[in-house]
Amino acid sequence: MKEPHSFSRVAQPIRNFAQRFAYVGLVVAAFALMMLAKVDTILVERVRTHMTDAVAPILDVLSQPLDTVNRGVAEVQAMKNLYEENTRLREERTRLMHWKSVAEKLEAENRVLKEQLNVIPEREASFVTARVIADTGGAFSQSVIVNAGARDGVEKGQAAVTADGLVGRVIDVGSRSARVLLLTDINAKIPVLVDPTRTRAIMAGANLAKPRLTWLPPGAVVSVGDSVVTSGHAGVFPPGLRVGQVAAVGEGGLIVQPYVDLTRLEYVRILNFGSGGILQLPQRSIDADVPGKERGRRP
Amino acid sequence: MRPTFWQRLDAFARNLTPVALTLVLVILNVVPTHIPGIARVLPVLPLISIFYWSIHRPHLVPAPAVFLIGLFQDGLTGAPMGLHALIFLAVQGVVLFQHKFFMGKSFFVHWLGFGLVGAGAAALSWALLSAFHVTLFAADAIVFQYIMTVAAFPLFAFIFSRWQQAFLKLD
């Protein structure tokens, strides 16, 4: 190779030597890092959080034009079937009005019954709405980065939802960004209940499009079309969040079709139930009980 | 003639561009497209960049830079830290090992080479992921991702060669 610069001519052999020497070292370092990530997740995750936080403003800007284009496309599509959409919505509205009256009646009934039984009221959730600025739903992991972080009140362990249902859980929080682990990720294990039998199960992701139900109690009866909601067991998620529907009962287990289209997430709501994240899990289950009971007794 | 300070600064800035371009591709890779299913099969763009520059300007993508690019990719995509660092280093290692073979060869040989090296990288990432999660990983997404990456190679190789013509001709 021709090297016209004297600077390069001196630097080149040194660089070559360093390169060869460094190469093996770096391969070992990468291996060691993977081992470390397996053992001590906190240290490695902190590095990741800082990295994500640093790039968040760039991603925020880059994701905006694409969002706009997508919204434009969606609007044009909506214009095309305005008429059918209107008819459909009218029908749905009639149906929902009926449901509304039923729900109101049930709510009133429920309130009276709860008062009679002295049930501890559930805590109301506040939420932060955040925009998805990076989608890494690939073969390696299933997560998204949102443009809200610790300064917006997002905490590790909080649930992320859309109007359709559960999206996942916050696993990393930077100051202005956070990473949401989608319920399809291989690390996502969510305690759920399968309605209408209230069968307990764990919904486990596998980096595939649809998660599976595992750890069903023996003799459990679950059929296609049953709805899956979070159970609130283990305190990771608040109970009763809509998750999905049992889509198929196959050889590989029960496959769940999530209600949320995880490939087209634009905005998610991060729910805050006033409780800490997954990290304080052992203390929290005790702490959460005590004040709850006290509050329940209050007149 | 000795280059002036500004000429050297100019050359230095130009020489940084292969790494910078690769970092841009890492970021572009995670920008949400909202196209259903595409994220699962999105090409691993930085891999193309590392392969290309390791052939054409190996000294501009030194191993430490490749390592850091890999870490950056892991950090952003949420993959186990070190996974892509290892994969990218392996790809660079193979290319540099076979550098004499690749030098002066036609584009199609490079594409074919990328097909082989990419397959190795895909197999390696499958093996590493399976080992990391202590489970046999579903390989379909990785295979699709590999096919997409190989399919995306000509476009990006073209862009890089233009870039090389425009900014890195002196080397």
Report pLDDT digits (tens) over A162-195: 988 999 999 889 999 999 999 988 888 889 998 8
Contact status, residue A198 vs residue A217, Cβ threshold 8 Å: no
- Report H helices in chain A: 6-39, 41-80, 82-117, 281-297
In a domain, A51, yes or no: no
Lowest pLDDT segment from A23-27, A62-66, A127-131: A62-66
Contact B28 A62 (CB under 8 A): yes
pLDDT tens digits for range B5-37: 888 888 888 888 899 999 999 998 888 877 766
Pick from A156, A222, A237, A147: which is nearest to A191 by CA? A237
Residue A279 has a pLDDT of 40
Phi-psi category of residue B36: left, alpha or beta, with phi > 0 → left and psi -120 to 50 → alpha: beta
- Chain A to chain B Cβ contacts (< 8 Å): 171
In a domain, A223, yes or no: no
- CB contact A248 to B (< 8 Å): no
Smallest CA–CA separation between B70 and chain A, in Å?
9
Distance, in Å, from the CA atom of A240 to the CA atom of A242, rounded to the nearest integer, reads 6
Report chain A residues whose CB lies below 8 A from the CB of B141. 138-139, 207-208
Question: How many Cα atoms occupy the beta-carbon half-sphere of A238 within 13 Å?
Answer: 20
Q: Which two tokens stand for residue B83?
A: 């996974």
Residue A19 has pLDDT above 90, yes or no: no
**What pLDDT band is residue A124 in, cutting at 50, 70 and 90?**
low
Q: Which two tokens stand for residue A8?
A: 């390069």
Domain map (residue ranges) of chain B: 13-167
Closest-approach residue (CA) in chain A for B85 = A30
Closest-approach residue (CA) in chain B for A15 = B59
Q: Which two tokens stand for residue A20?
A: 């060869």
Among the partner-chain residues A4, A23, A37, the one whose CB lies closest to the CB of B81 is A37
Among the partner-chain residues A23, A55, A138, the one whose CB lies closest to the CB of B141 is A138
Name the average pLDDT for chain B. Answer: 88
Residues 217-246, chain A: which have Cβ within 8 Å of B?
none
Q: Model's pTM, two decimal places?
A: 0.79
In a domain, A65, yes or no: yes
Residues 99-138, chain A: which have Cβ within 8 Å of B?
132-138
Contact B76 A27 (CB under 8 A): no
Residue that is written with structure tokens 């209940």 in the block: A193
**What pLDDT band is residue A284 in, cutting at 50, 70 and 90?**
very low
Q: Residue B162: is it exposed, middle or buried by C-beta count within 10 angstroms (0-12/13-18/19+)?
A: exposed
Contact A140 B129 (CB under 8 A): yes
Residue that is written with structure tokens 């997404």 in the block: B141
Distance, in Å, from the CA atom of A286 to the CA atom of A51, rounded to the nearest integer, reads 35
Among the partner-chain residues A19, A37, A66, the one whose CB lies closest to the CB of B31 is A66
Contact A37 B125 (CB under 8 A): no
- Intra-chain end-to-end CA distance of chain A, in Å: 86
The SS3 call for residue A194 is strand
Q: Which two tokens stand for residue A257?
A: 């079709």
Q: Which two tokens stand for residue A21?
A: 């020497």
- CB contact B76 to A (< 8 Å): yes
Contact status, residue A49 vs residue A173, Cβ threshold 8 Å: yes
In a domain, A81, yes or no: yes
- CB contact A53 to B (< 8 Å): no
Above pLDDT 90, what percent of chain A?
A: 18
Phi-psi category of residue A255: left, alpha or beta, with phi > 0 → left and psi -120 to 50 → alpha: beta
- Report H helices in B31-62: 38-41, 45-56
Angle between helix A6-39 and B83-97 (nearest 10) = 140
In a domain, A7, yes or no: no
Among the partner-chain residues A34, A206, A263, the one whose CB lies closest to the CB of B82 is A34
Residue A280 has a pLDDT of 39
- Domain that includes residue A112, residue range: 56-117
Contacts of A74 (CB under 8 A, 6+ apart): none
The DSSP H or E segment spanning A244 is strand A242-250
Contact A208 B138 (CB under 8 A): yes
Closest-approach residue (CA) in chain A for B43 = A138
Contact A51 B75 (CB under 8 A): yes
Residue A1 has a pLDDT of 44
Above pLDDT 90, what percent of chain B?
A: 45
Pick from A19, A11, A5: which is nearest to B95 by CA? A19
Contact A33 B8 (CB under 8 A): no
Contact A265 B32 (CB under 8 A): yes
Report chain B residues whose CB lies below 8 A from the CB of A133. 31-32
Among the partner-chain residues B30, B32, B138, the one whose CB lies closest to the CB of A206 is B138
Smallest CA–CA separation between B133 and chain A, in Å?
8
Residue that is written with structure tokens 């990432």 in the block: B125
Pick from A188, A212, A215, A219: which is nearest to A200 by CA? A215
Residue A282 has a pLDDT of 39
- CB contact A68 to B (< 8 Å): no
For residue A204, list its beta bridge partners. A189, A212
Smallest CA–CA separation between B158 and chain A, in Å?
22
Structural domains in chain A (count): 1
Contact status, residue A48 vs residue B30, Cβ threshold 8 Å: no
Distance, in Å, from the CA atom of A168 to the CA atom of B78, rounded to the nearest integer, reads 14
Contact B63 A22 (CB under 8 A): yes
Residue A209 has pLDDT above 90, yes or no: no
Contacts of A255 (CB under 8 A, 6+ apart): A210, A211, A212, A213, A246, A247, A248, A249
Q: Which CATH architecture has domain B13-167?
A: Orthogonal Bundle (1.10)
DSSP string, A73-101: HHHHHHHHTHHHHHHHHHHHHHHHHHHHH
